[in-house]
Amino acid sequence: MSAASDTPITGDTFVRPQPSAPVRAWRATIDFIKRKPLGAFGAFILILVVVVAIFSPWIARDAIGQTHSGDHLLPPSSTYWFGTDHNGRDIYSRIIYGAQVTALVGAGTVILVGLLSVTIGLISGYFMGTIDFIVQRVVDVWIAFPAIFLILTMVAVLQTTGNLGILGLGRGPDWGPDPRGGPWIWNTFPRTTIVILVLGIVLAGGAVRVVRSAVLSVKANPYIEAAQVIGATNNRIIWRHILPNIMPTVIVLATVQLGVAVLAEATLSFLGVGVTNFPTWGQMLSGRTQDLMASNMHLGLFPGFAIFTAVFGFNMLGDALRDVLDPRLRGSR
Amino acid sequence: MTQYIIRRILLMIPTLLGVSLLVTGMIRLLPGDAVDILVTENAVGGGSMAFDQLVDEELVEPFWEDAPSFDSADDASFADRQDAELDVLARTAIVRDRASEEGINLEDSETRREYVGAIPSRERQEIRNSLALAAYKDSIRAELGLDKGFVGQWWSWLSNAARGDLGQSIVGSQRVSDELGRRLPVTFQLGALAMFFGAIIAIPTGIISAVRQDSMIDYAVRSSAVAMIALPSFFLATLVIALLSRMLDYSFPLYYAQLWDSPGANLEQMVMPALILGLSLSGVLMRLTRAQMLEVMRQDYIRTARSKGLASNAVVTGHAIRNAMLPIITILGIQIPVLIGGSVVIEVIFGLPGVAVYLYRAINERDFPPIIAINMVIALIVVIANLVTDVAYAYLDPRVKLS
């Protein structure tokens, strides 16, 4: 080769210098905040819940289960920011601890839904034929009845305390570390796992359909056919071509499912079948709160607004991400 | 069309079989059953009376070859009867474990009776009670057909259901079909009212939001739609009950009034729950209506109508809404499972005797026949609703071809 082509291009060229990766990420973030302020608010809520969950033992003012004898049903004050409940517990601290349940159940459910729906949806959509027919009939059964019915039945099945249950999961709090032993949600390991498992499995039903349709539309592209013609294996096509191209759909799906999962967890806790041995937002609205709410509004207002704000934020983030990443999904749900 | 409907109905059969298998299978995994909850220690009466009675009824069988037969127990001497009882006690796991720990061989009848006889009477009583209880529970399970195993239980349920017999509640002993007949209308009424409220809130706002796309109204409607989705219905219901009681000193009636007995009282207690359920439904409905309306507004014939100089209002009411209404109505059909699911919490909070709360209670009590029956009935309703929605859509819109 001639020496001329080896010399680096200098001076007046049309090549704009590419900013480094962190700079690009920063610019994309600023752009997102400018274009989707409500989505950015949702992202802020998401980060807030995660941070509060991680640092909750230091942010909370009381230890788990700590009661102040004599200070029952006090309205919000400088001592008890959100007031106290009928047992004399600080509501602020309980809400802070409750963020752990929201974060862990939300994240766990979304990861499980993602894994299940991508695996099943990919296989069903890519290979088609008999396997697709069978999977679609199973999904029919899966989504044939209201999710909450399936969730209630499954949680009851898995959570029956006393006897063995399945895989020892039904043994409840007496298995594993003592839930009262520390300020962390994973001390309630079996019960939290049951809630995550059930929500993940039940919510994956509808998600399989979405992933499958995304796979079908990616598969229709000419580059998939080209890859098949040059003899690429199915494995390679799935990993290199289909999976990266359905990722936007999966990310949007996960964010939307996050709100659904958090709301479902709160409903389960409210009905008394979710995580029962750790403070949760849904649980704080059930039981005695129902009777005492009329004269002590602070009992239900704060946990209710906590659920509302979290789910509202997650949904806003999901909407914004959908507009940015996957316009095809707009208006679905 | 007829062919399509027949094929859809045929496809419903595997779906419903799958649902029944799934539910029966899940229930089989339940560690405890209704019998455990039903029969507490007290139910047997406790004490040797119950044990003797069970022995007389031959529920506790003689285990050892050299044990005297219980048929002759009435004639046998008191000593023989006592020996027989000691033999039975020696057979229990508690006593055997204890004996093997202490290295005592219970095979020999003399040592056995001596060993069991030496157990303090209070402990012997406890063993007797647990034995009697277990035998009693087994007899009830056999009576209810709970000992038949997975396939047997499923098959007997299926063959009975095909004949219209949905079984009997184990806990309450009422017939499930009667109970469902009483409760389904309540849930239907709640659902229909909620659908009505949801639709009259969501459809106009969704249409306005689409017509004024990207205006302040649009942003307000979209945000409040997300807010409706995010607002937990149990929080809203609790808040409404508390506020009504606080400000108007109003409390909801404790007892449910039938619609045909006292329509006024019934509506009074149904409107608020239905409104709350309708509000949480309206979020999703608003978004779907808006998306549908936007889809129509993008069509060529809307542009044509505009370009021929038609007033903006006339375009919207005359062309857009008419064409958007059809898919919006089918959207309502898709919401039926969402409605039934949402009614669980509402029925629990407002104490309405509907199907959803029946399932909730049955699950807590491990009462299988209602659990299976309710899930099946709900699945059937959902599947039929989907079919009716699809067919109605095709019937109303000649462009849609079902195949």
Would you call B175 helix, strand, or coil by DSSP?
strand
Percentage of chain A lying above the pLDDT 90 cut: 19
Average pLDDT, chain B: 77
Least confident of A136-140, A306-310, B306-310: A136-140
Least confident of A107-116, A294-303, B49-58: B49-58
Contacts of B387 (CB under 8 A, 6+ apart): B5, B8, B9, B12
Q: Does B18 touch chain A (CB under 8 A)?
A: yes
Contacts of A102 in chain B (CB under 8 A): none
Q: Is the ipTM of this complex over 0.85?
A: no
**Contact across the interface for A308 and B32, Cβ inside 8 Å:** no
For the residues B5-32, what does the mean pLDDT come to?
A: 77
The minimum CA-CA distance between B273 and chain A, rounded to whole Å, is: 15
pLDDT at A308: 93
Q: How far apart are CA A31 and CA A27, in angstroms?
A: 6
Contacts of B334 (CB under 8 A, 6+ apart): B386, B389
For the residues A44-72, what does the mean pLDDT come to?
A: 85
Q: Does B348 touch chain A (CB under 8 A)?
A: yes
Q: How far apart are CA A315 and CA A326, in angstroms?
A: 15
Q: Does B150 touch chain A (CB under 8 A)?
A: no
Contacts of B32 in chain A (CB under 8 A): 160, 162-163
For residues A212 and A193, which has the higher predicted lDDT (pLDDT)? A212
pLDDT at A146: 76
pLDDT tens-digit readout, B155-167: 877 887 778 777 7
What per-residue string of b and e applies to A30-45 under the rule 16 or more CB within 10 Å gives b? Answer: eebeeebebbbbbbeb
For residues A261 and B139, which has the higher predicted lDDT (pLDDT)? A261
pLDDT at B29: 63
Closest partner residue to A307 (CB to CB) among B232, B338, B356 is B232
**Contact across the interface for B360 and A152, Cβ inside 8 Å:** yes
pLDDT at A48: 94
pLDDT category, A331, cuts 50, 70, 90? very low
A148: closest chain B residue by CA: B341
pLDDT at B155: 81
pLDDT of A58 > 90? The answer is no
pLDDT at A333: 39
Task: Report whether B276 contacts B346 (CB < 8 A).
Answer: yes
pLDDT tens-digit readout, B213-222: 888 998 899 8
Q: Does B338 touch chain A (CB under 8 A)?
A: yes
pLDDT category, A45, cuts 50, 70, 90? very high
Task: Report whether A207 contacts A117 (CB < 8 A).
Answer: yes
For the residues B296-312, what does the mean pLDDT come to?
A: 85
For residues B318 and B71, which has the higher predicted lDDT (pLDDT)? B318
pLDDT at B200: 93
pLDDT of A258 > 80? The answer is yes
Give the residue from A102, A134, A141, A171 with the most B CB atoms within 10 Å of its CB, the best one to mutate: A141
For the residues A273-287, what does the mean pLDDT come to?
A: 83
For the residues B44-73, what does the mean pLDDT come to?
A: 48
Residues 258-287 of B with CB under 8 A from A: 284, 287
pLDDT at B60: 54
**Contact across the interface for A304 and B22, Cβ inside 8 Å:** no
Contacts of A293 in chain B (CB under 8 A): 238-239, 241-242
pLDDT of B44 > 50? The answer is no
Q: Does B341 touch chain A (CB under 8 A)?
A: yes
A330: closest chain B residue by CA: B291
* Beta partners for residue A90, in sequence order: A84
pLDDT category, A107, cuts 50, 70, 90? very high
pLDDT category, B49, cuts 50, 70, 90? very low
- Nearest alpha-carbon partner for B329 in B381, B403, B385: B385
For the residues B171-175, what does the mean pLDDT come to?
A: 76
Task: Give the number of residues written for chain A.
Answer: 333
User: Of the segments A176-190, B30-44, B56-70, B232-246, which one has the largest average pLDDT value?
Assistant: B232-246
Q: Does B239 touch chain A (CB under 8 A)?
A: yes
**CA A288 distance to own-chain centroid:** 29
pLDDT tens-digit readout, B221-252: 988 998 998 899 999 999 988 888 888 877 77
pLDDT category, A305, cuts 50, 70, 90? very high
pLDDT at B223: 87
For the residues A198-213, what does the mean pLDDT come to?
A: 88
**Contact across the interface for B230 and A312, Cβ inside 8 Å:** yes
pLDDT tens-digit readout, B348-393: 888 888 888 888 888 777 777 788 888 888 888 888 888 888 787 7
**Contact across the interface for A162 and B32, Cβ inside 8 Å:** yes
Nearest 5°: phi and psi at B335? Answer: -80, -5
Write down all domains in chain A, each with its CATH number in brackets: 35-325 (1.10.3720.10)
Would you call B199 helix, strand, or coil by DSSP?
helix
pLDDT tens-digit readout, A281-300: 988 888 787 877 778 888 88
DSSP collapsed to 3 states, B253-311 = CCCCCCCCCCHHHHHHHHHHHHHHHHHHHHHHHHHHHHHHHHHHHCCHHHHHHHHCCCC
Q: Does B364 touch chain A (CB under 8 A)?
A: yes
Least confident of B207-221, B251-265, B342-356: B251-265
Token pair in block for residue B121: 């009477």
pLDDT tens-digit readout, A173-200: 444 445 455 677 766 666 788 888 888 9
Task: Report whether A113 contacts A257 (CB < 8 A).
Answer: yes
